[in-house]
Chains A and B, each alone.
Chain A
């Protein structure tokens, strides 16, 4: 008589037939794509308007210094007074007016330039203007001192240290960054999964108690099978939802791009814009990224990612199940929530601050074996090269702890039903283990 598949099937079907589950499965990607579309649309509108900035340059130093960009048009004013120029700019509703007075020396300019505008100007525009002025002033100063600015450019050397391990493996700073991103992404994904579906597992463990069917169930099934069935069933439902989300986001995204003609992927981050503006070889960086990625132990990473992700998720899921086993209703769960998430937060911190600094130091090593932190820390260590035996031991510890946790939860569950209505304290939980 094998109950596990039966329980698993019921839990799975029960979850995915739930109305709010179905609604969320469709609503979440819709909202996500909707928000991105909105942002893309809004930033497109913004980009369309060209802002005009008038310039009154009495010093005559900056005649060709300001070049129009896609969103800013510079309009030089000549042969009028400051007051007239200000009035003109204000009446014409120009975005702003830049005033550069005539001074004795260039140094004096430093504090004399003024930008007039209706509202506070945007930081990027101010940055652009200041950069342009500084560049010109610096060139002028160098020439004054008798130095050819072109010479300086020629003499400038970019230092790029090559990193190589004793074994002859080439690494780079970019590689470290990539590893950080990889570990961080794994940690973040785990975190999200646990937060979304952990609570669902807990609620499903409480279900038998609130519906009072618990004694009937517990007189037919072993608690450990019930809990395992619930954990696996809910996890499968979670994976179903996750896959549905990915597919739906793809479909909605496609619909939006083709129907509305807006491409959500055109939403650019400031860094991207900067990189493009600098023109410092996006292709070059891309090539380097690809080289770094291919130099990572890909197969090892993928296998271990899957194992640690599943193991880590199951372990935390079993913690949620234990909380569900200990309480009578959802309102009693609050006090247990924080201790569950703390080790995960700790893992991410250890990952970002210790592993990157010293991937094979004592702290990194220890935390990559502790089951509550190993899913994040070990995954971050693996790109730096970790012996296979360490990885295997860590995975075994992780899964063993999961089984231990479920056993512990089942123990609490069995005793918990005898204590209807009593709010359990930690002290009582320890006592229950002895029954």
Chain B
């Protein structure tokens, strides 16, 4: 798959503090790339390197086949976590100004702004001042300004903070649509449920080091532990439990059910398959529930950061 952004051994330290250490990532074209990590891991520093706000001490960044250059800023749209707008400026004027800074002509910017303002149903805000808007309203305008110049690479740092669920959903759909239209998206967040929903690829950074990256599906496959959640209806629960305990690793489980059954998580050795387990369980009683336990992004996040 073609890569839009390739970072190779990027390091940056501030004084004695190493913010990022030898980070290499490859962001495939047209993907949503999740940049994950606990607070202070170095995500923002890495994003700033891509945006040329900070120069890396060592390492190279290649954007669309070219080493990063000042004029590349017009190919990048960046919505930082620390965001705001000029308070005393009118919405329309401000959006035009920011669009022109990104290299759009005034007429072009006006046309596209009209499109986006209609799309997000914020057309009548044009002559309002930012200080009259709520935080969520201002966020919408920031989103528009970020994507207006149709950048190849979009970088969103915690894009959903400050949005109510309806608007968060709206923005999520817009981001996915932008990806479908060909943009590549780097997405930095703590909210793991949005990672599950949106990201194709992820990279996990902790204390300045990359500790995990790849396709989300591949990572999940790697992290699954051959564990199944099962429910068995039986007349002899004690006997069955003792039996299972002897043969497998057994963990307690709870799930909603209309039956009064035994509920367990069962881990089976690598050499066995789900079918083997089912065959075995059917002999013990009535199998009412059988699901493979797939690790969530949240589980993987917590596990890897803890072990690191």
Contacts and interface: CB of A to CB of B under 8 A. Distances in A.
A212 interface: yes
B74 interface: yes
A213 B101 contact: no
Given A417-B53, A418-B54, A1 B82 contact: no
B85 A217 contact: no
A423 interface: no
A7 B101 CA distance: 8
A217 B84 contact: no
Contact of A216 (B14, B70, B83, B100): B83
B88 A216 contact: no
A435 B84 CA distance: 26
Contacts of B146: 216
B86 A211 contact: yes
Contacts of B70: 222
A6 B100 CA distance: 8
Contact of B97 (A6, A212, A435): A6
Given A6-B100, A418-B14, A435-B14, A219 B51 contact: yes
A219 B80 CA distance: 10
B77 to A, nearest CB: 9
B53 A216 contact: no
A122 interface: no
Contacts of B84: 211-213
B87 interface: yes
Nearest to B52: A219
A218 B15 CA distance: 22
Contacts of A217: 101
How many of chain A's residues touch chain B, expressed as a range? 20 to 34
B87 A218 contact: no
A221 interface: yes
B33 interface: no
Interface in B64-108: 70-71, 73-74, 76, 78-80, 82-89, 97-98, 100-103
A209 to B, nearest CB: 9
A18 B88 contact: yes
B145 interface: yes
Contacts of A156: none
A170 interface: no
Nearest to B104: A1
B73 A220 contact: yes
Contacts of A291: none
A207 interface: yes
Nearest to B155: A219
B85 A213 contact: yes
Contacts of B73: 219-220
Contacts of A211: 84-87
Nearest to B19: A418
Nearest to A226: B101
B85 A219 contact: no
A10 interface: yes
Contacts of A203: none
Contacts of B89: 14
Contacts of A213: 83-86
A207 B86 contact: yes
A216 B87 contact: no
Contact of B101 (A3, A14, A215, A417): A3
Contacts of A218: 53
Nearest to B78: A219
Nearest to A420: B82
A1 B71 contact: yes
A336 B76 CA distance: 37
B86 A212 contact: no
Contacts of A18: 88
A431 interface: yes
A221 B101 contact: yes
Nearest to B145: A216
Given A213-B85, A435-B14, 13 more contacts: A3-B101, A14-B88, A212-B83, A213-B83, A214-B82, A215-B82, A216-B79, A216-B145, A218-B53, A219-B53, A219-B76, A219-B78, A414-B53
Question: What are the 10 tightest A-B residue pairs by CB atom distance, in nearest-first order?
Answer: A212-B84, A215-B80, A219-B51, A220-B101, A211-B84, A213-B84, A219-B78, A1-B103, A211-B87, A212-B82
